[in-house]
Amino acid sequence: MEKPASTNIPIHELIARRWSPRAFAEQPVEAATLRSLFEAARWAPSSNNEQPWRFLVATKGNQTDFDRLLACLVEGNRKWAYRAPVLILSVASLYFEEDGKLNRHAFYDTGMAVENLVLQATAVGLVAHQMAGFDAEKARVDCLIPPGFDPVAMIAVGYPGDPAVLPDYLREREIKPRERQPANNFVFSAQWGLTSPLAR
C-alpha cells in the first residue's frame, strides 16, 4: 500500500513516499537489503563526525532476539509490530569519545542516521515505522546496554502488508489521508514567532 504525501510544493518522490504504516507482510527481509539500511545510516552527518548511533537489530530468524525487543514495546505497539519481520532499536552514545564530554547533539545525530535508514528502506521497497512507545529501562536491562548510552526509538521494518490484518481502530488510521501542519506554523524569520516569507 502506497500513501504518498500530498505536498504544497514538489519534493523528492522518495521523501513523499516515506510513511509509517502498521500493516506488515510476514515476508522476511533479505540480509543484503538490511545491510543497505545500515550502510545508509552509516553515512549520516554528525557533530564532529562522532557517529553516536548504535543499532540493536533482530529478525524473526532469531526468535529469541526478536521477542526480547518486542517485549520492550508498549502493548499498543505490540498489537501490530509483532507482524513485522525486523525490529531495530536505535541507541545514542551520550559522550564524545575523544574527551568524554557530553554530546548534546547525540539524539539529533542518531535521528539523522535513522532518517537515512528509513529513506533507504523506502527506496528498496520496504516500510519502516518508528516508535517512541517502548520501555527504555527494560531495553537497557534486557539488551545489556551499557552506561553512557541511551535507547532512543524502536523501528519496525518490513514489506508493506494488507491493512485488513489490523484491528478496526488501527485500520482506520492506516487508510486515512496523511496530514501535516503548514510550513508557516514552524518556519520563522530570525525572530521567534514571526513567519518567514519563505513559508507563505
Domain spans in the chain, listed from the N-terminal domain onward: 13-161
Q: How far is CA 82 from CA 48, 74, 105, 111, 135, in A?
A: 37, 12, 32, 23, 16
CB 170 within 8 A of CB 116: no
Convert the pLDDT of each residue in 108-133 to its tens digit.
999 999 999 999 999 999 999 999 99
**Run of H or E including 189:** none
CB 112 within 8 A of CB 46: yes
Going from the first residue of the chain to its last (200 residues), give the mean pLDDT of each consecutive group of 10, the final group possibly shorter: 91 97 96 98 98 98 98 97 98 97 98 98 98 98 98 98 94 92 96 93
At residue 183, the pLDDT reads 95
At residue 1, the pLDDT reads 76
Side chain identity, residue 183: A
At residue 52, the pLDDT reads 98
Cell of 49: 563526525
pTM of the model: 0.96
- Measure the CA–CA gap between 170 and 22, rounded to whole angstroms: 8
At residue 200, the pLDDT reads 74
Quickly name the fold that domain 13-161 has: NADH Oxidase (3.40.109)
Nearest to 155 by CA among 142, 171, 139, 178: 139
Convert the pLDDT of each residue in 181-195 to its tens digit.
999 999 999 999 999
Q: How far is CA 1 from CA 13, 44, 133, in A?
A: 15, 28, 24
